[in-house]
Amino acid sequence: MKLIGSYSSPYVRKISVILLEKEIAFEFVNRINSDGEDIVTRYSPLNKVPVLVADDNSIWFDSPVIAGYLEALNIPPQLQPTDGAQARYMHQVEALADGLLDAATQLAHELKKKPGQQNDADIIALRGKITRALDWLEQQLVAGKITAQPLTVGTIAIGCAIGFINRRRIAQGWCVDHPQLIRLVESLFRRESFLRTEPQAS
């Protein structure tokens, strides 16, 4: 298999972690080749990473779709519940974590702009999304609906989102009111799959 993306992308990291947890051999292909060309448009009309090229040469893009494809291969460990209600809830957790990451990446992009070019209304709205998402995750953890074990695609997505937030320092102090979330991500960050996919500081 080939995983096409960039080392700094938390969405790519999510799929890398899944591949490592399942011990699926894969080749990582940087989206920018040696000629400086962005090759993602060859595979994804949206020009977004990650993209997975499977062994049968089928092409899959968007991280939830790729995660679903990998789970359908029935390679342990199982990262998605088979029970209908549990599976729907796990997908909701994954969607929440991906939405948190979407807001965080948009905020990081906005904060990189010069002060006079920043949209204050967008910044406030994005910070609100991030806070509400973190609060929801904390509530689910307190209620025992999200747990560190067994590992799921949902908790992997949470770890990748929080890892990005920490690395970019765009929600400083978030941990003050989220002790259960801290415990979850600390356990995730100790896993070999997360250690091996930690992006370099930027």
74 vs 19: CA distance, rounded Å: 12
3-state secondary structure of 64: helix
Q: Kindly report each contact of residues 190-193 with a partner whose C-beta sits within 8 Å and lies 24 or more positions away, as own/partner.
A: 191/17, 191/21, 191/151, 192/20, 193/16, 193/17, 193/20, 193/21
pLDDT tens string 159-180: 999 999 999 999 889 999 999 9
pLDDT tens string 112-133: 999 889 999 999 999 999 999 9
5 vs 47: CA distance, rounded Å: 10
Q: What is the total residue count of the chain? A: 202
Domains of the chain: 2-72 (3.40.30.10), 84-192 (1.20.1050.10)
Share of the chain above pLDDT 70, in %: 99
At 34 the pLDDT is 86
Burial (0-12, 13-18, 19+ Cβ within 10 Å), 7 = middle
What is the model's pTM? 0.95
Check pLDDT > 80 for residue 202.
Answer: no
* Closest C-alpha to 32, from 6, 59, 61, 62: 6
